[in-house]
Amino acid sequence: MGKRLLITALCALGLLSCTGQRSDGDFTFDELALLHTSDSIMRVLTIADSLDLQVLRSQSADLSEAALRSEDYARLARLMVATVTHPSQDGVGIAGPQVGLNRRVVAVQRFDKPGEPFEVYPNISIVWASDSLAYGPEGCLSVPDRRGEVLRSQEVVIEYASTDHENGLNMVKDTVKGFTAVIFQHEIDHLEGILYIDRL
């Protein structure tokens, strides 16, 4: 009885991860443990596993400024890029839920930039999408061995958090077109618990 009361008190104080996400936007104990499981790549969750599917179907939450300025976030960003670019995956984008964290973070290959770099975007959302739509082939690291034609906007405006400024987070907007816009839409769907197969 006493142990149950202690756990309840810790939950109320926000000192224990009781819901999987902390309301203050910091990493939970479970998320930190997952981040420090590997130094190379992270396991990609798939729809074939029922527990994985629960994560993939859950909505993701923003991270706090403190979390985004932490070494843990830098580690997450590095591991996400390492995972999506690993020869075993060879993807063009990956989202937090796909590596087990329901956080609004995506890594996307910017085919629209010189050198086609991978970039990581925290607390991201789409604030505008064009009415100009087109079907295109899509696949997903979390839905292995399947592809399908998905209708997507050809241009979007994304908004994400930048920690480049010392005084608080700065929300940045970027207009993205073509295939890269499709990647952003696919990855941001993941943050809402949506898979591309839902759009077939």
C-alpha to C-alpha distance for 130 and 156, rounded to whole angstroms: 6
CB 26 within 8 A of CB 16: no
Residue 179 is which amino acid? Answer: F
DSSP per-residue letters across 122-145: ES-EEEEE-S-EEEEEEEETTEEE
Closest C-alpha among 170, 163, 172 to residue 125: 172
Task: Output the CA torsion sign for 148, 152, 155, 159.
Answer: negative
| Residues with catalytic roles | 187
Tokens for 32, please give them. Answer: 């930190």
